[in-house]
């Protein structure tokens, strides 16, 4: 058996070397074209060629011998139930099929995924609103490790109207001092919902408070630098995040280069047993609002989340309660305007693939604080698998400047292909 293997190896090896020869840019080819190399040069050339071949033979031989040893060891170690187990386990053969040379370059391709978000809407819409049938967006993600010090994440959104960089940043995962640092374009670390991508939201739409106070349809995102550090303490998880942005987002419009926007966020998390936990946050954002040369907007936010998920039945049921309050103080020429808004949300998973939810919205408008919009939603989500979902949302919106409430039915179909992303928490 062993002899046959050796013979086979030799044969394969010879074949490999022969096969490797022709396409290789031969060393002879490196001689200047047209020049007639002298005999000495030719000998030197041949010698170099021979050396290269010898080296290649040695490395290939070593590789094959290693593989053979692994295969033989694995055969020896293969569990024959009756036999006593070997004292020293030998490494089994490489379990992943060796990538063919042609695909080896793909090994370093980033993890890629595309998420489609199709939204349908029916009923009376409060001014514009969602179209009846709309491929709202497709999000493409590219994520990979850059080097031993950092990783990079890109999220590109494609909609019928535009291509946008939703987020694109590098994360330094191993800076000294425990500073988790991100540089690039990011969603501001302001509260909970602002950090969510559309496909991780538990609703079809964002709450009214997002539209009225924190940046319209898509929330706050900008280019800047984010630093987050854990605050060591014996009691709970405490993380402080500080961010500085160029000041060009839906709320902040820096008139000059020096007028940066700042965001601070403090997150406290504590397990109350293995099934239940609380997550509290406080946020502050500050920057020029562009209404005049030196007017600013200040946002304050608090958020609270209570989660319950029994571990033994974790794929079948969970409960989540979340509330966020945001207070905005926007300066304008005449003075400053304060506005308050928020939402409350309850979610219950009642079967492996089914989740129900209810949300209450209430928010003043940033620049017209007297006007308060309110709304309520009922939601049902069905997840055929981890990679798709169908959602229905009944939404009733009462706008401060409209006589009657608007009743709408929203439908969402979301589907993901590509790399398996992290589950949202």
Partner 1 sequence: MRFPSVVALALLAAAPPTGAAVNVVATTEDLADLTRQVGGDRVKVEAIARGYQDPHFVEAKPSFILKLAKADLLVAVGRELEVGWLPPLVQQSRNSRIQPGADGYLDASLTVRILEIPTGQITRAMGDVHPLGNPHYWLDPGNGRHIAKAIADKLSRMAPADAAYFAARYADFDRRLAEAEKRWDALMAPYKGLKVVTYHRSWPNFVDRFGLDVIGYVEPRPGIPPSPGHTLDLIAEMKRQGVKILIVEPYFDLKTPNSIARETGARVLVLPPSVGGDKDITDFIALFDHDVDLLVRTIKETGAK
- Per CB under 8 A, the list member of 57, 118, 237, 319 interacting with partner 1 is 237
| Binding pattern for the stretch 335-354 against partner 1, x by CB under 8 A and - elsewhere | -----------------xx-
Do 311 and 288 touch, CB atoms closer than 8 A? no
- Name which of 123, 126, 121 is nearest 402 in CA terms: 126
CB 277, min distance to partner 1, A: 6
Rounded Cα–Cα distance for residues 409 and 124 (Å): 9
In sequence order, the 6+-apart residues with CB closer than 8 A to the CB of 250 are 214, 215, 216, 218, 219, 220
Rounded Cα–Cα distance for residues 199 and 141 (Å): 12
Rounded Cα–Cα distance for residues 13 and 58 (Å): 11
Do 151 and 141 touch, CB atoms closer than 8 A? no
CB 237, min distance to partner 1, A: 4
To 10 degrees, what angle do helices 2-20 and 39-77 make? 140
Q: Does 15 bind partner 1 (CB under 8 A)?
A: no
- Per CB under 8 A, the list member of 25, 29, 81, 335 interacting with partner 1 is 81
Q: Which two tokens stand for residue 201?
A: 């939201």
**Exposure string (b/e) for 88-111, b if CB count within 10 Å is 16 or more?**
eeeeeeeeeeeeeeeeeeeeeebe
Smaller CB distance to partner 1: residue 248 or 318?
318
| Binding pattern for the stretch 275-314 against partner 1, x by CB under 8 A and - elsewhere | --x-x-----------------------------x-xxxx
Taking CB under 8 A as the criterion, which residues in 362-391 touch partner 1? 385-387
Q: In Å, what is the CA distance from 377 to each residue of 206, 214, 219, 359, 373?
A: 11, 20, 20, 5, 14
Do 137 and 159 touch, CB atoms closer than 8 A? yes
- Per CB under 8 A, the list member of 88, 162, 333, 403 interacting with partner 1 is 88
Partner residues linked to 241 by β-bridges:
228, 265
- Per CB under 8 A, the list member of 145, 164, 201, 225 interacting with partner 1 is 145
Smaller CB distance to partner 1: residue 339 or 416?
416
Smaller CB distance to partner 1: residue 76 or 409?
76
CB 282, min distance to partner 1, A: 16
CB 387, min distance to partner 1, A: 6
Q: Does 425 bind partner 1 (CB under 8 A)?
A: yes
CB 425, min distance to partner 1, A: 5
Sort strands 261-272 and 354-365 into parallel, antiparallel or unpaired.
unpaired
- Per CB under 8 A, the list member of 1, 78, 293, 334 interacting with partner 1 is 78
3-state secondary structure (DSSP) of residue 304: strand
- Quote the distance between the C-alpha of residue 262 and its chain's center: 23
- Per CB under 8 A, the list member of 19, 35, 82, 102 interacting with partner 1 is 82
Smaller CB distance to partner 1: residue 37 or 92?
92
Task: Give 231-291 as a DSSP string.
Answer: ---SSSEEEEEEEEE-SBSSS-B-SSTT--EEEEEEEEEEEETTTEEEEEEEEEEEEE-SS
CB 207, min distance to partner 1, A: 24
Q: Does 175 bind partner 1 (CB under 8 A)?
A: yes
Q: Does 106 bind partner 1 (CB under 8 A)?
A: no
- Per CB under 8 A, the list member of 60, 151, 329, 396 interacting with partner 1 is 151
Q: Does 187 bind partner 1 (CB under 8 A)?
A: no
Q: Does 75 bind partner 1 (CB under 8 A)?
A: no
Q: Does 41 bind partner 1 (CB under 8 A)?
A: no
Q: Does 100 bind partner 1 (CB under 8 A)?
A: no
CB 318, min distance to partner 1, A: 9
Q: Does 92 bind partner 1 (CB under 8 A)?
A: yes
Q: Strands, E, within 291-423: which ranges?
A: 296-308, 318-332, 335-351, 354-365, 368-385, 388-398, 406-418
Cα-Cα end-to-end distance for the chain: 55
- Per CB under 8 A, the list member of 315, 368, 400, 409 interacting with partner 1 is 315
Do 370 and 361 touch, CB atoms closer than 8 A? no
Q: Does 109 bind partner 1 (CB under 8 A)?
A: no
Q: Is the dihedral of CA 309, 362, 125, 365 positive or negative?
A: negative
Smaller CB distance to partner 1: residue 119 or 228?
228
Please give the residue ranges that form the binding site for partner 1 (CB under 8 A). 74, 77-79, 81-82, 84-85, 87-89, 91-92, 95-97, 145, 148, 151, 171, 173-175, 178-180, 229-230, 237, 239, 267, 269-271, 274, 277, 279, 309, 311-316, 352-353, 385-387, 417, 420-423, 425
């Amino acid at each position: 058996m062993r002899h046959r293997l050796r013979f086979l190896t030799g044969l394969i090896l010879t074949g490999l070397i022969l096969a490797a020869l022709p396409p290789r840019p031969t060393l002879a080819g490196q001689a200047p074209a047209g020049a007639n190399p002298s005999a000495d040069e030719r000998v030197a050339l041949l010698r170099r060629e021979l050396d290269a071949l010898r080296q290649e033979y040695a490395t290939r031989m070593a590789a094959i011998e290693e593989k053979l040893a692994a295969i033989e060891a694995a055969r020896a170690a293969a569990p024959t139930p009756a036999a006593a187990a070997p004292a020293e386990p030998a490494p089994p053969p490489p379990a992943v099929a060796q990538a063919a040379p042609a695909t080896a370059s793909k090994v370093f391709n980033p993890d890629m995924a595309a998420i489609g978000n199709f939204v349908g809407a029916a009923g009376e819409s409060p001014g514009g609103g969602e179209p009846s049938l709309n491929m709202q967006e497709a999000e493409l993600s590219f994520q990979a490790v850059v080097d031993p010090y950092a990783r990079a994440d890109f999220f590109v959104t494609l909609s019928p109207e535009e291509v946008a960089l939703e987020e694109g940043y590098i994360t330094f995962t191993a800076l000294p001092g425990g500073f988790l640092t991100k540089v690039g374009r990011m969603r501001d670390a302001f509260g909970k919902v602002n950090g969510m991508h559309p496909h991780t939201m538990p609703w079809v739409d964002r709450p009214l408070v997002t539209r009225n106070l924190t940046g319209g349809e898509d929330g706050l995102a900008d280019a800047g630098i984010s630093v987050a550090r854990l605050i060591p303490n014996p009691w709970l998880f405490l993380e402080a995040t500080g961010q500085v942005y160029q000041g060009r987002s839906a709320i902040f419009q820096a008139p000059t280069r020096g007028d940066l926007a700042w965001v601070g966020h403090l997150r406290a998390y504590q397990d109350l047993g293995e099934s239940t936990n609380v997550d509290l946050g406080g946020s502050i954002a500050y920057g020029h609002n562009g209404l005049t040369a030196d007017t600013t907007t200040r946002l304050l936010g608090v958020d609270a989340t209570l989660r319950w998920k029994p571990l033994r039945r974790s794929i079948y049921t969970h409960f989540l309660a979340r509330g966020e309050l945001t207070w905005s103080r926007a300066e304008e020429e005449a003075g400053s305007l304060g506005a308050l808004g928020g939402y409350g949300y309850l979610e219950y998973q009642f079967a492996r693939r089914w989740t129900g939810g209810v949300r209450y919205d209430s928010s003043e408008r940033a620049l017209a604080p007297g006007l308060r919009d309110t709304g309520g939603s009922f939601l049902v989500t069905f997840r055929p698998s981890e990679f798709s979902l169908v959602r229905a949302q009944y939404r009733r919106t009462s706008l401060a400047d409209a006589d009657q409430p608007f009743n709408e039915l929203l439908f969402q179909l979301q589907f993901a292909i590509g790399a398996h992303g992290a589950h949202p928490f």
